[in-house]
Amino acid sequence: NVEAVGTPKRNIQLSNIVEEFAEGRRTSKVMHETPKKATVEEPKTPKSARGRPRKSTSTVVEEYKSTPKSATKLKLIRSGAIKPNVQARDAPVQISPDDQLAVARERLHVSAVPKSLPCREKEYSEIYNFLEGKIIDSCGGCMYVSGVPGTGKTATTTAVIRSLQVLAQEEEIPTFEFVEINGMRLTEPRQAYVHIYRQLTGKTLAWEQAYNLLDKRFTTKAPRRVTTVLLVDELDILCNRRQDVVYNLLNWPTVPSAQLVVITIANTMDLPERLLMGKISSRLGLTRLTFQPYNFRQLQEIVMARLTGTSAFDAEAVQLVARKVAAVSGDARRALDICRRATELAEEQSRKVDKFVSVSMGHVQKALGEMIASAKVQTIKCCSRMEQLFLQAVTAEVARTGIEECSFLGVYSQFEALAAFAGVTVPNPGRAIAICSRLGASRLLICENSRNDIYQKILLNISSDDVHYALQASSLI
Amino acid sequence: MPVLQSETAKIRQFLKSRLQTDVTSFRGYESEWQNIRDLLFRTAEHGESNSALLLGTRGSGKTTLITSVLADLLPEANFYRNTVIVYLNGLLHTDDRLALKSATAQMNLENAVDGKVFGSFAENLAFLLECLKAGDKKKSKSVVFILEEFDLFCSHHNQTLLYNLFDVAQSAQAPICVLGITARLDVIELLEKRVKSRFSHRQIFLLPKENDFEGRVELFKILLKLPTDKEMKEYNKTFKPIPEDALQNQELPLLRRVFDPRSFSFSTKTISQWNKHIDALASNPKVISVLQNMYDYEVIEATFKTFLFELVCQLHDDNPLLTVEEVQAQGQQFEGDDKIHILCGLSVLELCLVIAMKHHSEIYDRDPFNFEMILTRYNKFANASTTMQGIERSVVLKAYEHVKNLELIAPISNASTSKVQKEYQLHRLLLTYGQIGQAVVKSQNLPTEVCQWAQSSLI
């Protein structure tokens, strides 16, 4: 018979097979073990432990009690029966509508996305035409959207999809499914399958299963299939060395039965050529869109659009924010955050004078100072005298050797000389190393592990001009 | 002094526990304190999402600031009923997996039972994000994330946790406030660009005052004086007790076993006598010069508290008052050089080796040396001396090893050092010449020959 010839079944364990020598030939046979009685193992426990077997059994019972509970809960979560939720508060939040500054602050929050995004009309229509065409034709396709952070990529794309969903509900275009994943919300690239499958069916599976089911779904023909729109945010995170996930996500649209439209979003413009393999960038296609950073006029318009109907802001104040932010990054989030901080400052002031104060240039200037400037110079000013002297010794050693990296020994001899010059007693080398590591902890210096003791290398992390500027007013120099 | 004598133990106990466990009273930095308080208050009350970073040098009171803000806010039912506080520490939660488990348990989500979180890392992340997404600005509780050692979270893989926290803070989901605490001033440069864009760039710096020596003397008085009845009345007015159910979170270590001055009571006579004594001590020029030296070296409060703690430890029944001499001795101890102490404890042979190393380093400008070089130099001296003759090579090698184990010399880190015999391994001297000179002067019972040899390498 077939079974005797084939490999032994899995449940026959190796220890059960006993080799015997019968008539000089080796044969193996399966031992059928009778289950051992529990009493056999009992004498192994030491006698002293016998006094309290009750306690251990009771804890075991408790564990058994709690395990099924958590197991069923886990099962319920995986099947999607338990809805995820956070605890509710006592009473819902209420904001009085006549508090101008509070209303402005709420509208200026980055999360309060307006219904129509100003200054992105062209990009909006481009994505809209692409998606609408694909949905009406019920075919698949890819699009690549790029741009630096905070230029409205995700907001524009989701706005397009929202308006298309409204149209689909009014039955002006065919209905479609929308799935959204974000590379940064995954622990590893393959979890993308799990997330897509969960959004389609609500169940959580292992990634292999999810991949198989998705592959089956997209590659087999099915009548009455509706188009699926898949938005992939942070595409560069999904790229690993094998790039199998990105390949699959971009390969499914090419299958005629899939009806899958993929929109990918990333920061760098040349990501397909730089990071992706040839066959993948070929599948990604040439339908691309780049979001330029906002210039100051656009940033001003964005802020003003959010503020319509309130008189909380002076017009010049908004212009100052727009110009400052546009010069650095063109990040809309940054501009909105600075405006929000300015309203807080104005509120503080109006609390003090007990009268409504609109946000003026002064508040914006202060907010900009808080959010853009760094406090390195101020930190040097607030160091102790010995720390200041040590920093000066480092700059002196850099100037002496001409090399940026200097060793502790050289700095210490400079330190001794400067201390003698200033007429103070110099700390011993051990305490000087403590000063060094203190300055290293706040990253004014970059220094090695102090295990290297007096041979450690020291690097100045700020420009030596900053040190001189900060120490100008110091009593030591 | 009999009044004080009977209560010395109690005074010592009071001062010690105040120095160690008083985390809620916070001095100075009014505007920064108000800023953080407003931030947390708005998060709880208006459901606003925020993110901020608290920066300052080590020991400048960053955690104390947060603790005192929480101690001020938590007594209000409106605050603690509407917020969940999640405490994460970069030194404990060394990767995102651990941090997520802890956050899930602290928020008491559905997939946590009795503080045990089940499911894989990916499931936990997905579930937490779903929960926050399901939340609503108006109806769900605000979550305050306190991330201590924030710079260590930046080194996690892809900065997934930071991205997601900042992303939730910037989108219409459950209201959260992310508060990072770190000592690194350049921490923003560690963030990835998309994480940086989502961070609101609110940075609050805790900088000590410039040239504030009067403040230090004042602090000396504040930390050592006993509270008078008037001050206790004021304390009772401003500090309300934190209700039990506000501290349900098992993993929040900030407000555990907080110091309470009401559990101590002193007689009025004791208080006035002790405070008068401290005032006199603080105006003594010798004490002031000790304090000035300490202040010149280090401006932060934390080490100053250690100094005072050691001072307070010396109080006992026979010695009920702090004396000027004790303060001076304590100051001396802080300024002493430990390496000279170690050198003074060496045997004559070991000290001779150190002197030989010093001569070698002086002649060859701190070139590395091995045992044979030092032995030759030492033998030259030993043969000419009357006391050091007749010591065997193996004994000298043992002494050399001992010097090496004390880390007065360090091997040069090369990949090939392990293969070299120990007599030929190259080492460097980890002492300055000044330290060796001082040690020779200080150590007792050193033969005159050795002292003379230490002066010059000529024999």
Nearest residue in chain A measured CA to CA from B212: A382
φ, ψ dihedrals at B118, nearest 5°: -110, 170
Whether A18 shows a pLDDT value over 80: the answer reads: no
State the Cα–Cα distance between residues A115 and B304, nearest whole angstrom: 57
Nearest residue in chain B measured CA to CA from A73: B111
Average pLDDT, chain A: 85
Q: Which residues of A touch B174 (CB under 8 A)?
A: 86
Interface of A with B in 271-310 (CB under 8 A): none
Across the range B289-303, mean pLDDT stands at 92
Structure confidence at residue A55 as a pLDDT band (50, 70, 90): very low
Nearest residue in chain A measured CA to CA from B157: A187
CB contact under 8 A, A184 and B297: no
Q: Which residues of A touch B160 (CB under 8 A)?
A: 184-185, 187
**Residue A475, pLDDT score:** 60
**Closest-CA residue to A216 (of A264, A255, A272):** A255
State the Cα–Cα distance between residues B154 and B187, nearest whole angstrom: 8
Q: Which residues of B touch A234 (CB under 8 A)?
A: 194
pLDDT in tens, A83-103: 888 888 887 777 776 678 888
Whether A339 shows a pLDDT value over 50: the answer reads: yes
**Residue B1, pLDDT score:** 53
Rounded to a whole number of angstroms, the distance between the first and last alpha carbons of chain A is 100
pLDDT in tens, B431-458: 999 999 999 999 988 999 999 999 988 8
Interface of B with A in 11-40 (CB under 8 A): 38
> Tokens standing for B97?
């997996």
Whether A64 shows a pLDDT value over 60: the answer reads: no
**Distance (Å) from the alpha carbon of B422 to chain A's nearest alpha carbon:** 20
φ, ψ dihedrals at A293, nearest 5°: -60, 150
**Distance (Å) from the alpha carbon of A292 to chain B's nearest alpha carbon:** 16
Q: Does A267 touch chain B (CB under 8 A)?
A: yes
**Residue B67, pLDDT score:** 93
Q: How many CB pairs below 8 A link A and B?
A: 224
Across the range A304-312, mean pLDDT stands at 85
Across the range A194-208, mean pLDDT stands at 94
- Phi-psi region for residue B191, left (φ > 0), alpha (ψ -120 to 50) or beta? beta
ipTM computed for the complex: 0.94
pLDDT in tens, A376-415: 888 999 999 999 999 999 999 999 999 999 999 999 999 9
Give the closest of A77, A333, A376 to B127, CB-based: A77
**Residue A39, pLDDT score:** 41
| A281-285, A335-339, B30-34, B419-423: least confident range | B419-423
Structure confidence at residue B252 as a pLDDT band (50, 70, 90): confident
User: How many angstroms from the chain centroid is the CA of residue B18?
Assistant: 17
**Residue A397, pLDDT score:** 96
Give the closest of B141, B174, B297 to A386, CB-based: B297
Interface of A with B in 165-224 (CB under 8 A): 184-188, 191, 194-195, 198, 204
Nearest residue in chain A measured CA to CA from B301: A384
> Tokens standing for B66?
């947060």
Q: Which residues of A touch B428 (CB under 8 A)?
A: 455
> Tokens standing for A335?
């501009």
CB contact under 8 A, A428 and B38: no
CB contact under 8 A, B123 and A188: no
DSSP strand pairing (A176-182 vs B50-56): unpaired
Nearest residue in chain A measured CA to CA from B168: A111
Across the range B177-185, mean pLDDT stands at 95
CB contact under 8 A, A442 and B197: no
Give the closest of A102, A184, A383 to B164, CB-based: A184
Give the closest of B84, B297, B336 to A87, CB-based: B84
State the Cα–Cα distance between residues B198 and A111, nearest whole angstrom: 11
Give the closest of B113, B160, B435 to A187, CB-based: B160
DSSP strand pairing (A227-233 vs A176-182): parallel
**Residue A67, pLDDT score:** 52
Interface of A with B in 401-420 (CB under 8 A): 409, 412
Q: Which residues of A touch B141 (CB under 8 A)?
A: 86-89
**Residue A374, pLDDT score:** 75
CB contact under 8 A, B137 and A93: yes
% of chain B beyond a pLDDT of 70: 98
**Residue B459, pLDDT score:** 73
Residue with tokens 């299963």: A209
pLDDT in tens, A218-256: 999 988 889 999 999 999 999 999 999 999 999 999 998
Whether B421 shows a pLDDT value over 80: the answer reads: yes
**Distance (Å) from the alpha carbon of A211 to chain B's nearest alpha carbon:** 16
Average pLDDT, chain B: 91
Are B138 and A93 contacting, i.e. CB atoms less than 8 angstroms apart?
A: yes
Across the range B108-131, mean pLDDT stands at 89
CB contact under 8 A, B296 and A110: no
**Residue A14, pLDDT score:** 44
Q: What is the DSSP letter of A313?
A: B
CB contact under 8 A, A382 and B210: yes
Nearest residue in chain A measured CA to CA from B206: A379
State the Cα–Cα distance between residues B182 and B188, nearest whole angstrom: 11
Residues 6 or more apart in contact with residue B451 via CB below 8 angstroms: B440
Q: Does A378 touch chain B (CB under 8 A)?
A: yes
Interface of A with B in 3-32 (CB under 8 A): none
CB contact under 8 A, B210 and A381: yes
Q: What is the DSSP letter of B192?
A: -
Give the closest of B185, B336, B430 to A454, CB-based: B430
Q: Does B9 touch chain A (CB under 8 A)?
A: no
Give the closest of B116, B158, B205 to A184, CB-based: B158
What sections of A138-269 are H helices per DSSP?
153-169, 191-201, 207-219, 235-238, 244-251
Whether B429 shows a pLDDT value over 80: the answer reads: yes
Interface of B with A in 310-339 (CB under 8 A): 335-339
Q: Does A126 touch chain B (CB under 8 A)?
A: no
pLDDT in tens, B385-415: 988 888 999 999 999 999 999 999 999 876 6
3-state SS class at A447: strand
Neighbour-count burial of A163, counting CB atoms closer than 10 A to its CB (0-12 exposed, 13-18 middle, 19+ buried):
middle
Q: Which residues of B touch A77 (CB under 8 A)?
A: 110-111, 119, 123, 127
Interface test with B, best of A62, A187, A203, A444 (most B CBs within 10 A): A187
**Distance (Å) from the alpha carbon of B157 to chain A's nearest alpha carbon:** 9
Nearest residue in chain B measured CA to CA from A376: B185
Q: Does B116 touch chain A (CB under 8 A)?
A: yes
Nearest residue in chain B measured CA to CA from A88: B140
Structure confidence at residue A43 as a pLDDT band (50, 70, 90): very low
pLDDT in tens, A134-192: 999 999 999 999 999 999 999 999 999 999 999 999 999 999 999 999 999 999 999 99
Q: Which residues of A touch B78 (CB under 8 A)?
A: 90
State the Cα–Cα distance between residues A81 and A87, nearest whole angstrom: 18
Across the range A40-61, mean pLDDT stands at 43
Give the closest of A83, A267, A344 to B193, CB-based: A267
